[in-house]
Amino acid sequence: MKFQKRLLRAEPNFQILTKLWQVNWLYVILICALAVVGYVALYSAGGGTSRPFAGPQSIRFCFGVVMMLGIALMSPAILVRLAWPLYIFSLILLVAVLRMGHVGKGAERWLMLGGMQVQPSELAKIALVLMLAAWFHKISYRSMGNPLLLIPPALMVLVPVALVLKEPNLGTAVIIGTVGASMFFGAGMRLWQIALLILPVPMLARIAYSHLHDYQKARVTTFLHPESDPLGAGYNIIQSKIALGSGGMWGQGYLHGTQGQLNFLPEKQTDFIFTMIAEEWGYVGGVTVIGMLLLLVFGGMLIAMRSRNQFGRLLGLGISMNFFLYCAVNLSMVMGAIPVGGVPLPLISYGGSAMLMVMFGFGLLMSAWVHRNATFGETTPGEKD
Amino acid sequence: MKLRKKKSGNRLMSRPEEGKNPSRGVFTRRALLLMAAQGAVLGALGERLYGLQVLNGSHYAKLAENNRLSKRFFAPPRGRITDRFGISVAANRVNWRALLLAEETSDIPGTLERFAQLVPLEPRDTTRIEHELRHKRRFIPIMLRDFLSWDDMARLELNMPSLPGVLIDVGTTRVYPFGPLLAHVVGYVAPPAEKDVVHNAELALPGMRVGRSGIEQTQDASLRGQVGSVEMEVNAVGRVMAELDRDEGLAGDEITLTIDSGLQQQVLGRIADQSASAVVMDCRNGEVLAMVSNPSFDPSLFDSGVSQAQWIEWTNNSQTPLINKAVSGLYPPGSTFKPAVAMAALRAGTLSPSDRISCPGYIDVGGTRFHCWSRYGHGSINLRQGLKYSCDVFFYEVARRTGMDAIAATSELFGLGARLPEIELPHVRQGLIPTPTWRRAHGHHWNGGDTIVSGIGQGFVQVTPLQLATYASRIATGRAVQPHLIRSVAGRLAGLTDLGHATDMDMPGTFFEDIRAGMYAVVNEEGGTAPKARLDIPGVQMAGKTGSAQVRRVSRAMRESGHFNSANLPWEYRPHALFICYAPYDAPRYATAVVIEHGNAGADVAAPLARDIMTDTLRRDPVNHREPPGQEVAQAEVD
């Protein structure tokens, strides 16, 4: 540590290299390991070629790594200043997707930008994490007791949730809401406030259900009775469970999963990629992947705890929660524990904007790690950093 | 650099609290709590995975093995629709077709190209196939070509090895043996639209059709049946090795209509080329025996798509061939409305059967003179005579005394301007019996003159021919008969066909007797308005009521010139000719309503037509026949 400080003082131009050295490389290696798992699985999903899925995805990942390292070097002070513009931009994209979005499977989720499909709700999640971290960083822990100061961040959560619900994308809306809530929790929201908020939840849930689209209600019912609609929504759940189960302890062997290779699994390269892995690599493979994901989640939480500033702590918490929820929802989905809802498995599923946003998030997490010892702007809301 | 300075500054300032920073402490505790929850969730998922893969692994392995038995879904045959004697009015024809199962070929363009060399594809087919390839799920087959000839099939069979994913399959298409005759009742089917498929994945299967009109539309769900499936054993590359199990699905329900297609044909024959509609009902239970709306169209044209030219021709035709006039055509009932007005007055106590009203040929109400159809007037007459001569002044006065609210209430009980909930057709219109309340709701004042003209079924009064037939049935029986078109579904008799189904109408029987007597006089007594409707069957009498409904106001000048003759008007300005009737008078069995668009006088045109229809109907009464009548006629038509 001392050596680094001296180096910094002596040679400011080496700052970038120092920061690069500071990056948590162990964590980066873990990320790369999961990306390799993803490549291997997509190679199989493509029927034993890198052509349709694995190749493009690995190029995106390399680009993502560069982006992640770039963001890791950015000081939290800059990130705090970026929070508002990025958040507003993400809201504009969410509105744009409702206005002129590309309709796929009955819901508007994508925006065509320069020939590329972008899913603005992905950006909104990361922007919200950044925004909330910046907000709570500035208002300090002591003033958390003042409920008035909780209203703006609550709106920051509810606006994107409402826009995403309108798409309609129930799964993502729930994830955004939960990430937001966990950040309130981590920021030190008083327990009585939490209790007050939880009380009306069952009633709200009932109201929310009555406002669901028919196809979403249908999803809930086919989830309960997948056999009632073997051609429609039930098909995926049934086939996914069969594929998982047939993997057994050791799997059917790489490139030899009958379900995946014979195309019984629709969308196997995206939402159902884990099914493909667990079919070919068995329980051993599946649990290894879950373990790696858990390591990433816990690693992120530990990074958050190590930070000496509230911004870094909450950034780490938000990113880790987001990553965790993605994994948990996707895995529960393919195991038939919750209704299918179009949530990919981060780092592994095929898809551009999801991959880039996951790496963007990891970049923020790395920045929180690199600058973990910075203490700035806290408890003095009026003062500029 | 700047940041670093700030950092040390802050550190100095916060030194006293270093180590027990409250926010950091709270954060750490709460973060650990969240981690515990995260670990628990992922742990539980790992546990579930263990259950799926290890504990139940062999169960699912078996299912996976069964999955190599690729399941293929196919559309079940659509239920037949028959007339009351079991004669097909909508049936299925075998259709050999070539399908493509996208998930079984690795090279779709190549397969398509080789296919097109064997069986040519139209550009229209190609664009459709490309569209379906993009939008349908890979396990749902796409139709390449249908109505394959034996030659086509032989060529394809021979080349199957080079056509992975191509299947030859037998499906069905809908045929309507009677063509236009029953098009309005039976309706037609068309390929499902994209939005239908979103709501129901089954509709994506090749050969699935959606009912778009008539019985085909309203009974679509029960006609469609349940999707069948074939289980095939497929090898590791997906090639079919053997067919293992077949679930035929459930063919759609066979629906038997109340229609007698032979009678329908005879009625159409009587109507010939007039723009008209006629409804014949069994007035005891509401079964519709014939429902003709002329002109009509060929329903089978819709199966493969109607040409633009044909569509324009239909929609520009002033005689509206696509519209079922019997339920969707709205007409002023004219004088056929008078029995309902009479009943309203009797019920309200504003008229007794013996009351006499004097008709000098006109009546003055509120400074306006309303004319009777007879310039010379009918003198002093009672209800029976009022109906018999169809005296306008009599009913002007009755309506004035009774008031529009009472008239509307009673006529709605007869089904006029009311919803007829049991009729199994789409686009059924309700018509209108105007009331002061209705008029006010549209921002106008109801004045006395409106009641007067409504009393003879003019003005705003609008009803459908089906309502008129129901009205006649209810007058004849005194019971709230509900018209319906379905006699049985999948062999189960519909409840409405039950004779005891209709409840008695809440009106005294003597009132019915008075009105029926008037309607008897219309046809059978000297001086009645419809002597031409007298039946030529010994011992059987018909009761009825004529109507000529003006579609254009007749000016006083025209009327008083004495040369007024509506037959000289252009077709679309001539009055509609209407007739309602039932027979036999002493034991009512059938009721009929006839509306001839712009047919001029009901007495001259509609009454003889109704007589002919009733004669045909009575002659076909099953009581007179051991064999279903019209069998030979219908058979001839099918071939």
> CA of B51, closest CA in chain A: separation in Å?
9
- Tens of pLDDT, residues B274-316: 999 999 999 999 999 999 998 999 988 887 677 888 888 888 8
Q: Measured between CB atoms, does B137 come within 8 Å of chain A?
A: yes
- Tens of pLDDT, residues A12-67: 455 778 888 888 899 999 999 999 999 998 888 877 777 788 888 999 999 999 99
Q: Measured between CB atoms, does B57 come within 8 Å of chain A?
A: yes
pLDDT of residue A105 exceeding 90, the answer is no
Query: If pLDDT is split at 50, 70 and 90, which confidence band does A224 have?
Result: low
Closest to A290 (Cα-Cα) out of B48, B31, B54, B61: B48
Residues of A in contact with B138 (CB under 8 A): 263, 266
Check CB contact under 8 Å for A301 and B201.
no
Beta-sheet pairing, A107-113 with A102-104: antiparallel
pLDDT of residue A333 exceeding 80, the answer is yes
pLDDT of residue A226 exceeding 50, the answer is yes
pLDDT of residue A107 exceeding 70, the answer is no
> CA of B14, closest CA in chain A: separation in Å?
10
pLDDT of residue A7 exceeding 80, the answer is no
Query: If pLDDT is split at 50, 70 and 90, which confidence band does B68 have?
Result: low
- Tens of pLDDT, residues B474-507: 999 999 999 999 999 988 888 777 777 788 998 9
User: Which pLDDT value is given to residue B46?
Assistant: 93
Closest to B353 (Cα-Cα) out of B128, B532, B511, B157: B511
User: Which pLDDT value is given to residue B67?
Assistant: 58
Check CB contact under 8 Å for B34 and A185.
yes
Interatomic CA distance for residues B611 and A317, integer angstroms: 88
Minimal Cβ distance to B46: which of A12, A287, A305: A287
pLDDT of residue A318 exceeding 90, the answer is yes
pLDDT of residue B104 exceeding 80, the answer is no
User: Which pLDDT value is given to residue B448?
Assistant: 86
What's the first-to-final CA gap in chain A, in angstroms?
A: 24
pLDDT of residue B632 exceeding 60, the answer is no
Check CB contact under 8 Å for B50 and A283.
yes
Minimal Cβ distance to A245: which of B6, B34, B56: B56
Q: What is the pTM of this model?
A: 0.60
User: Which pLDDT value is given to residue B621?
Assistant: 80
> CA of B204, closest CA in chain A: separation in Å?
10
User: Which pLDDT value is given to residue B9?
Assistant: 40
Q: Who has greater pLDDT, A204 or B565?
A: A204
Interatomic CA distance for residues A313 and A135, integer angstroms: 13
User: Which pLDDT value is given to residue B5?
Assistant: 41
Closest to A66 (Cα-Cα) out of A28, A22, A106: A28
- Among A139-148, B19-28, B303-312, B505-514, name the one with the lowest average pLDDT: B19-28
- Supply B369's token pair: 């003179």
Minimal Cβ distance to A188: which of B26, B41, B46: B26
Report CA torsion sign: B371, B373, B376, B378.
negative
Q: Measured between CB atoms, does B36 come within 8 Å of chain A?
A: no
Query: If pLDDT is split at 50, 70 and 90, which confidence band does A102 have?
Result: low
Residues of A in contact with B67 (CB under 8 A): 239, 242, 258-259, 262, 264
Sequence length of chain A is 385
Check CB contact under 8 Å for A374 and B7.
yes
Check CB contact under 8 Å for A231 and B48.
no
User: B 207-246 residues with CB below 8 A of A?
Assistant: 227, 234, 236, 238
Peptide bond into A168 cis (omega under 30): yes
Residues of B in contact with A303 (CB under 8 A): none
Find which of A80, A283, A296 to mutate to test the B interface (most B CBs within 10 Å of its CB).
Answer: A283
Beta bridge partner(s), residue B250 = B226
Nearest CA in chain A to B195: A106
Interatomic CA distance for residues A248 and A246, integer angstroms: 5
Q: Measured between CB atoms, does B202 come within 8 Å of chain A?
A: yes
Query: If pLDDT is split at 50, 70 and 90, which confidence band does A293 have?
Result: very high
Check CB contact under 8 Å for A258 and B68.
yes
Supply the mean pLDDT for chain B: 84
Q: Who has greater pLDDT, A126 or B71?
A: A126
Beta-sheet pairing, B255-257 with B81-82: parallel
Contact B302, B190 (CB under 8 A): yes
User: Which pLDDT value is given to residue B166?
Assistant: 86
- Tens of pLDDT, residues B192-218: 887 777 777 778 787 788 898 999 999
What residues have CB less than 8 Å from B117, skipping those under 6 apart?
none
- Quickly list H helices, chain A: 2-10, 15-22, 25-45, 54-72, 76-100, 120-139, 151-166, 170-187, 191-198, 201-210, 214-224, 233-247, 258-261, 273-306, 310-334, 352-370
Find which of B3, B38, B108 to mutate to test the A interface (most A CBs within 10 Å of its CB).
Answer: B38
Chain-centre distance for alpha carbon B539: 38
User: Which pLDDT value is given to residue B486?
Assistant: 94
Check CB contact under 8 Å for A262 and B236.
yes
pLDDT of residue B6 exceeding 60, the answer is no
Query: If pLDDT is split at 50, 70 and 90, which confidence band does B573 have?
Result: confident
